[in-house]
Amino acid sequence: MTALSVNLNKIAVLRNSRGGRDPDVVAAGGACLDAGAHGLTVHPRPDARHIRSDDVLALGALCAARGVEFNVEGNPFAPPRTGYPGLMALCEAVRPAQVTLVPDGDGQLTSDHGFDFPRDGEALRPLIAAFKALGCRVSVFVDVGDPAIGQAAAVGADRVELYTGPYAEAYAAGTPAAALAAAADTARRAQAAGLQVNAGHDLSQANLAAFLAAVPDVREVSIGHALIGEALYAGLDSTVRAYRRIVDRASTA
């Protein structure tokens, strides 16, 4: 079964643009869960451009109360600073079901590449062990086609999240076949190494079904930007329900 985790970052962007509490990310998270989302995702960044540390605590409490998965994303190498205690400290506080490690820098607009395992693997190893000691499943962000993907298992990761931005671009251009084949091959190589597979970035109602049909045994998709954008027109409840229909059909195909 493929789980749908809704990323709430863009709700926080809108709130932060005016200050105050509205729109309320916890209320939005509750609405997504009411509509059938299997869990919630946040990516707190050190600059607090969207999700803040207090949001992580509040959403962690919501997910715990609802008995659903909470997925916290972030760069494990980013040091603490004012307003951001660091990814490890946040995970110690909320004990999310999953932590997704992403190698994004402070000035990066969005996550757009996976880890370089020959360079980063040994530095990741003790951090992954520490997250797992908190009871978190650990997923690491990877590029489709990465020849070193098996090293994610060697340094202790449980899952990989395939970066699907290039697939979304190819789909929009009307040429998705090669990107789908590459994603399917990468997923199979990861699974052969003992890893489970997640996916995320620029997935949408338009391109999600084709991706899930082509890529075997995707355990979770984390979707935020497209889903929140679509919800501006159709409403949050209707949009989350539409995504659930897509993942449910893929899971029973």
Cα angle 115, 53, 139; round to 5: 30
Tally Cβ neighbours within 10 Å of residue 110. Answer: 11
- Chain-centre distance of CA 252, in angstroms? 23
Give the residue numbers annotated as catalytic, written as ranges. Answer: 43, 73, 201
Residue 2 identity (one-letter amino acid): T
Of the candidates 5, 73, 84, 72, the one whose C-alpha atom is nearest the C-alpha of residue 37 is: 5
Are the C-beta atoms of 187 and 218 separated by less than 8 Å?
yes
What 3-state DSSP class applies to 195? coil
Contact 93, 110 (CB under 8 A): no
Residue at 152: amino acid letter: A
